[in-house]
Amino acid sequence: MCRTTRSITAPSSRACTTSPSGGYGGAVTARTRSPRGGRGTDGELNDREQRRHELLDAAVAAVRREGPDVSMDAIAKEAGITKPILYSHFGDKAGLGFAIAERFGAALAAQMAERSAQISDPRELMRAAIDLWLSFVEAEPEVYRFLTNGSFLNHDGAAGHRLVAELGAALARVLGGFLRERRVDSGGAEAWAFGIVGMVHLACEWWLDRRTMSRLDLVDYLSELLWGGLAGNGLAAPPSELLSPDESRSTDPHR
């Protein structure tokens, strides 16, 4: 199989975190610590938001240690609180899972947006997006399993759906932009984006269980397969056929 010659590796988990929890989750959700004892509604909301952030840090730490079936007792112990306090912030275990998915999903979507601003070649950007996702899975296997296979997913799988929705929407925006720049119908961008996310997700499940190849080899294989389809639908158009930025905006059906 022909491999791409340029490797684009996602930053390490340390590079994209600003919270005590480490990993990908802190990149978006870390906030300036609000003063304690604030007066009035705004002060109370800031304190509660800061406390919620700290509880999410503790929950992620417990998931990393205990695995996807971590109990609420273990999470409360990690946070140094009782379960009723934990429930008062998140409602139930599904609510906590949803909040963790929102944290990691938003961080990954933000990093995807950053890469799309830095990489102009659609083939390289697709590879960077796949590597970003696989790097997250490699760095946070227990968090990934918690969000996609955890015991709290017995009902509607809201947390896993949230993570997929964040990533699918981010990728759809990128694909749509590339297609419109090339005077190509962008109507399939969202469907393709979610199809790509689903394919990569299932490949991740297989890879975590088998580990018969390196992460970068898997990135290469998936990138080659996906590019074959996308290139045939207009993304391989040469630069001479591109629209100007003003023309691209004028053909955006969502504007």
Contact in structure between 187 and 248 (CB atoms under 8 Å): no
N- to C-terminal Cα separation, the chain: 41
Can you state the percent helix, strand and coil of the chain, rounding each to 5? Answer: 70, 0, 30
DSSP state of 92: S
Contact in structure between 201 and 164 (CB atoms under 8 Å): yes
**What is the phi/psi pair of residue 190, to 5°?**
-70, -45
Tens digits of per-residue pLDDT, 25-60?
433 333 333 444 445 566 666 888 899 999 999 999
Q: What's the confidence (pLDDT) of residue 121?
A: 86
Q: Is 195 exposed, middle or buried (0-12, 13-18, 19+ CB in 10 A)?
A: middle
Q: What's the confidence (pLDDT) of residue 238?
A: 58
- SS3 of residue 5 by DSSP: coil
Q: What's the confidence (pLDDT) of residue 228?
A: 83
DSSP state of 142: H
Residue 83, H or E segment: helix 83-90
11 Cβ partners below 8 Å, 6+ apart?
Answer: 111, 135
Q: What's the confidence (pLDDT) of residue 107?
A: 92
Q: What's the confidence (pLDDT) of residue 20?
A: 31
The residue whose two tokens read 């004028």 is: 250
DSSP 124-139: HHHHHHHHHHHHHHHH
CA dihedral 210→214→218→223, nearest 10 degrees, is 170
Contact in structure between 237 and 182 (CB atoms under 8 Å): yes
Residue-range domains of the chain with CATH: 26-250 (1.10.357.10)
**Blockwise average pLDDT, block size 10, the chain, 255 residues:** 37 35 38 42 76 96 96 96 94 90 89 88 89 94 88 55 79 86 86 90 92 96 89 64 48 46
